[in-house]
Amino acid sequence: MSTETPRRLRSPRSATRSGRARAVAGVTALFLPLAAMVGLAAPAEAAASATATYTKKSDWGSGFEGQWTVKNTGTTTLSSWTVEWDFPTGTKVTSAWDATVTNSANHWTAKNLGWNGTLAPGASISFGFNGNGTGAPSGCKLNGASCDGGTTNPGDSAPSAPGKPTASDVTDTSVKLTWAAATDDKGVKNYDVKRDGTTVATVTGTTYTHTGLTAGTDYTYTVVARDTADQTGPASAATAVRTTGGGGGGENPGGNGKVNLGYFTNWGPYTVKNLVTSGSAAKITHINYAFGNVQNGKCTVGDSYADYEKSFTADQSVDGKADVWDQPLRGHFNQLRKLKAQYPHIKVLWSFGGWTWSGGFGQAVQNPAAFAQSCYDLVEDPRWADVFDGIDLDWE
């Protein structure tokens, strides 16, 4: 994390996307909030040869964009797929793409189109939809089986639901959760801790302290047990938690209204994991990821290898998991995604320009609408749209 503040030739200004929350960029030259923060996709519930995972891509208050990703985890080709789930009353799909989505009351069904039903082993396909309401999907089924890829072995029952988590030691930025153990005929291996439906940790014991939360914010936690065959049981009863503080209305974890911002350079010796091990991740509120290039009046990728191609080993990775060759996103972008899953208060801005990559700003100001569209299209690329919350323009 570099602490250098680049020189600027323009005074700060800001603009927001319609319907999105305004965020203060502090020392940045221009901050344009984009997609709302997104939790990492979490498995729903089991299929022997395929999985279906749900992600809320964005949320603008009166509605949201959701996405399901179906992946063939088996050894034979899938010829078709059908995903089913339930929404609570008041939440519904209003439009969809890359799948045919129908419903019967609160039960929703999505079927593949003619061109995207066949999935070779290891392949995946995503389809999306816009919706109204605040509810989350439940009871997911993929081709009639459950959706999280857990095994179903004859004579091996799935584990029971763990006890309802008890919250203690609640602070501005953390909460300790404790629950009664689940039971299983072959033994419980571990537990998935879920915050607002998204898995935030997998632990072997019956307690977990979740850090990196936002002051004065409501969260809901459940716990799901996994047995030795990796089968999942039903979720525990939900526990609502509100972190302390937050009266100042600011965006930082302490709620004191201050923006704690630093630059993370894609060419430096540091990894995103260093933000965690140094303790910085719990203190900062904004990261300027430096730098993207400005060429011919457009925002462009600066260093594709560092940004989204480089593989990180397990000891270099934020969550301790090594990159694999066929994952859709690697590099610093994927590490920032993992960081935001653990520290949801952090907002990441993609900074364009800098000392050597400001040459295209002259053309940009000649057609600001085209420039803005190019930046929007790049930052909203489906591969990393959930990583960034806005941009910073550093014209030097």
Domain coverage including residue 75: 47-146
From 78, 112, 146, give the residue that closes a domain. 146
Q: Euclidean distance between the first and final Cα of the chain, in Å? A: 20
Does residue 319 belong to any structural domain of this protein? yes
- With a cut of 80, say whether residue 148 has pLDDT above it: no
Final residue in a domain of this structure, among 184, 217, 242:
242
Separation of CA 135 from chain center: 17
DSSP string, 355-391: TTS-TTHHHHHHSHHHHHHHHHHHHT-TTTTTT-SEE
Q: Is 396 a catalytic residue?
A: yes
The continuous run of DSSP H or E covering 337 comes out as helix 331-342
Checking if the pLDDT of 153 tops 80, the result is no
**Catalytic residue (one of 4, 84, 380, 396):** 396
Total domains in the chain come to 3
Whether residue 376 is contained in a domain is answered as yes
Please give the pLDDT value at position 196.
Answer: 81
Same domain, 174 and 63: no
Asked whether residue 341 falls in the same domain as residue 391, the answer is yes
Residue 1 lies in a domain: no
383 assigned to some structural domain: yes
What would the mean pLDDT of 127-134 be, rounded to a whole number?
91
196 and 285 in a common domain: no
- The token pair at 59 is 């949320």
> What's the confidence (pLDDT) of residue 121?
86
297 and 343, same domain (yes or no): yes
CATH of the domain at 369: 3.20.20.80
In a domain, 158, yes or no: no
270 and 390 inside one domain: yes
> Is 99 in the same domain as 132?
yes
Domain endpoint, select from 188, 220, 242: 242
Are 276 and 214 members of one domain? no
Tell me if 347 is assigned to some domain.
Answer: yes
391 and 264 within one domain: yes
Question: Are residues 363 and 334 located together in one domain of the fold?
Answer: yes
Instruction: Identify the CATH number of the domain in which residue 71 sits.
Output: 2.60.40.290
Query: So what's the pLDDT on residue 63?
Result: 84
pLDDT digits (tens, 9 = 90+) for 322-349: 999 888 899 999 999 999 988 888 999 9
pTM of the model: 0.42
Contact between 371 and 299 under an 8 Å Cβ cutoff? The reply is: yes
Q: Are residues 205 and 305 in the same domain?
A: no
| Percent of the chain at pLDDT exceeding 90 | 46
